[in-house]
């Protein structure tokens, strides 16, 4: 089996936001990962840990108050290097995104079909009749009858609008699809259908088009159902990454272990997990491990030394001192 080169590689990505009152917030801190064609990676972590900022940076869609460093390599080419000039030819056509809340973002006075066709028209890939037949094909692909293209958003259920948002992101046959909380706010049945759709797209399109999916969610069990890889973010960093089942069965960071064990709170606000405490502020320097105040396994070095990236098992990395034998093994 020959290893395919990664379709997407993110290298030491950092994002800072200028704050209105002066100072800055370090939202993404040294994020590095790569994915091969057809991979499905879950990007997980509580609210505010930098998931959305990471994928917006990959799309070149951050606001002007953001500064970015690092590389985003698409088939080996750094698309961030020249700003808008190097990224715009690839945005939507090679790397595409379903925004958080996309199903509520359709323009109410335009048909679903016209809105799905927009990225194709933008990239000059189809117009008129060819665009209409491509829209019908895309709707069928996401499980909606093609003849519903001329309906308006209010004629679609939430689940159908979310499918339509996915169809729109797929319009130009991208290689990489970034989906930001695509099932949040949908009921459990519809959520399962959307997740199933993402799996089928990456396995069927994975053959011909190499669709690689990054699924952003605060819901680790969702990722466990759908993804073959997971990256757990905390305080702007990827604190653990590897194969889904390796992380599930052998978490190497206490945060991942606690995320798996966490249950949604009883009030039904599933953004609130039962890990006591809150993530640290990102607008000031973090000394030691960012997770230390909430960690049930913290020990001496955690309050002073920030953990670097370690790979305790091949292909499975974590930023946690527990993986450093020189710290955890008692001298004999």
Ligand X SMILES: Nc1ncnc2c1ncn2[C@@H]1O[C@H](COP(=O)(O)OP(=O)(O)O)[C@@H](O)[C@H]1O
- Shortest Cβ 17–ligand X spacing (Å): 3
Tell me the two tokens of residue 89. Answer: 């030819």
- Shortest Cβ 180–Mg ion spacing (Å): 6
Determine, following the binding rule CB under 6 A, whether residue 27 of this chain makes contact with ligand X. yes
Q: Which does 58 bind (CB under 5 to 8 A by kind): Mg ion, ligand X, none?
A: none
Determine, following the binding rule CB under 6 A, whether residue 51 of this chain makes contact with ligand X. yes
Is 58:212 a contact under the CB 8 Å cutoff?
Answer: no
Of 48-56, 69-77, 132-140, 150-158: span binding Mg ion (CB under 5 A): 48-56
- Shortest Cβ 213–Mg ion spacing (Å): 17
Q: CA-based Rg of the chain, rounded to a whole angstrom?
A: 21
Rounded-to-integer distance, Cα 295 and Cα 229, Å: 24
Is 61:45 a contact under the CB 8 Å cutoff?
Answer: no
Give the contacts of 18 (CB within 8 A, at least 6 positions apart).
Answer: 24, 65, 66, 67
Rounded-to-integer distance, Cα 72 and Cα 37, Å: 15
Determine, following the binding rule CB under 6 A, whether residue 17 of this chain makes contact with ligand X. yes
- DSSP string computed for 97-113: EE-TTGGG-S-TTS-HH
Comparing CB distances to ligand X, the nearer of 52 and 93 is: 52
Q: Which does 63 bind (CB under 5 to 8 A by kind): Mg ion, ligand X, none?
A: ligand X
- Shortest Cβ 15–ligand X spacing (Å): 8
Which residues does residue 177 pair with via DSSP β-bridges, in sequence order?
Answer: 96, 213
Question: Contacting ligand X (CB under 6 A), which of 13, 31, 41, 49?
Answer: 49
Q: Which does 316 bind (CB under 5 to 8 A by kind): ligand X, Mg ion, none?
A: none
- Shortest Cβ 103–ligand X spacing (Å): 17
- Shortest Cβ 245–ligand X spacing (Å): 24
Determine, following the binding rule CB under 5 A, whether residue 52 of this chain makes contact with Mg ion. yes
Question: Contacting ligand X (CB under 6 A), which of 9, 11, 14, 25?
Answer: 25
Q: Which residue has the tokens 């990102």?
A: 282
Q: Positive or negative, the Cα torsion across 82, 85, 90, 96? A: positive
Query: Of residues 130-169, which lie at the interface with ligand X (CB under 6 A)?
Result: none
What is the four-CA torsion angle of 201, 206, 207, 209, rounded to 10 degrees?
A: 100
Q: Which does 207 bind (CB under 5 to 8 A by kind): Mg ion, ligand X, none?
A: none
Alpha helices, DSSP H only, in 144-219? 158-169, 188-208
Residues that bind ligand X (CB under 6 A): 17, 25, 27, 45, 47-53, 63, 65, 282
List of residues contacting Mg ion (CB under 5 A): 52
């Amino acid at each position: 089996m020959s290893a395919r080169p990664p379709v997407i590689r993110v290298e030491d990505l950092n994002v800072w936001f200028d704050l209105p009152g002066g100072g800055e917030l370090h939202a993404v801190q040294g994020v590095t990962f790569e994915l091969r064609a057809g991979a499905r990676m879950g990007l997980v972590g509580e609210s505010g840990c930098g998931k959305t900022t990471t994928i917006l940076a990959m799309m070149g869609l951050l606001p002007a108050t953001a500064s970015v460093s690092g590389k985003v390599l698409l088939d080996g080419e750094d698309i961030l290097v020249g700003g808008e000039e190097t990224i715009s030819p690839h945005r939507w056509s090679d790397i595409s995104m379903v925004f958080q809340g996309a199903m509520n973002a359709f323009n109410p006075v335009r048909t679903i079909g016209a809105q799905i066709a927009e990225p194709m028209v933008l990239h000059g890939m189809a117009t008129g009749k060819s665009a209409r037949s491509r829209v019908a094909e895309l709707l069928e692909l996401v499980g909606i009858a093609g003849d519903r293209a001329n309906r308006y958003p209010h004629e679609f259920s939430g689940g159908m609008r979310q499918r339509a948002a996915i169809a729109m992101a797929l319009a130009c046959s991208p290689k990489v699809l970034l989906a930001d909380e695509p099932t949040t706010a949908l009921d459990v049945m519809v959520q399962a259908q959307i997740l199933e759709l993402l799996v089928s797209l990456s396995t069927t399109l994975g053959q011909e088009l190499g669709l690689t999916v990054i699924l952003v969610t605060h819901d680790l069990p969702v990722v466990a159902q759908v993804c073959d890889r997971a990256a757990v973010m905390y305080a702007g960093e990827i604190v653990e990454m590897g194969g889904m089942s390796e992380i599930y069965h052998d978490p190497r960071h206490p945060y991942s272990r606690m995320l798996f064990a966490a249950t949604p709170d009883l009030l039904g606000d599933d953004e609130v997990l039962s890990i006591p405490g809150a993530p640290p502020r990102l607008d000031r320097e973090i000394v030691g491990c960012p997770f230390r105040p909430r960690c049930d396994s913290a020990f001496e070095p955690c309050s002073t030394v920030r953990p670097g990236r370690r790979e305790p098992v091949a292909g499975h990395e974590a930023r946690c001192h527990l993986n450093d034998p020189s710290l955890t093994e008692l001298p004999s």
